[in-house]
Copies of this chain bind each other. A is one copy, B any other.
Amino acid sequence: MSDNSPGTRNAPPHRTAKRMSPEERKSALIEKATEFFSEEGFEAGTRELARQLGITQPLIYRYFASKEDLINEVYHKVYIDQWQDEWVDMLRDRSVPMRARLKTFYHSYTATIFNRRWMRIFFFAALKGLDINQRYIERVRRSLLIPICEEIRAELGRDDSTPVTDTELENVWLMHGMIFYQGIRKHVYCSVQEIDMAFVIDTGVDMYVDSAHQSGAPGSG
């Protein structure tokens, strides 16, 4: 049996892709590229990506000037589009005790980033040393962790006129790392099936808040 006819080797069963509007096709491409590159890494080939979309490889280049352009749109979708400005609002909401605020925030934050695609793209990008990754981490520091430091100070009634110190920030990074690492275990190591997020967040936040209260809180000793 000869194998000259196209589409019989290991390709999808249809010979020609369904016609789509440019907007549909482009968003389908970005969606699939996110899944594909998060599994295979950004060195993976455009031909295999096209095959999984049921299209031919040159069609990708009608919608993206280069592979790098496509990847940049994937980054944008992961890093920028999924960021929620509500996170900082939660953290700043002084009608709620800091302990509860932190737990609410981390439940929302991990609901967004604790999934296979986000976690793996994050580490693929980190290992490449990409600027967009550095900027994301800086955004976490500036827009989430520093506010946490400031709010903890406020709740403890401490001086809020001086800038947050490195030590205060490092304490928050410890809590953050403890929580974040459990996502790595599940989605990068794949060494655990399910994580008890409530337990992880409760433990991490309680540890942080308790330690903040103990370390030189006025009138605590």
Task: Give me the interface of A with B, judged by CB distance under 8 Å.
Answer: 41, 43, 120, 123-124, 126-129, 133-134, 137-138, 141, 170-171, 173-178, 180-182, 184-185, 188-191, 196, 199-200, 203-204, 207, 211
For A207, list chain B residues within 8 Å (CB). Answer: 207, 211
Which 7 A-B residue pairs are closest in the complex by CB-CB distance? A177-B181, A178-B178, A43-B43, A181-B181, A137-B191, A207-B207, A126-B188
User: Considering the chains assembled together, what is the distance between the CA atoms of A29 and B93 in angstroms?
Assistant: 57
Which single member of B175, B182, B189 contacts A137 (CB below 8 Å)?
Answer: B189
The answer to whether A127 touches B126 (Cβ under 8 A) is: no
User: Considering the chains assembled together, what is the distance between the CA atoms of A101 and B189 in angstroms?
Assistant: 27
- Nearest B residue to A44 by beta-carbon distance? B43
The answer to whether B200 touches A174 (Cβ under 8 A) is: yes
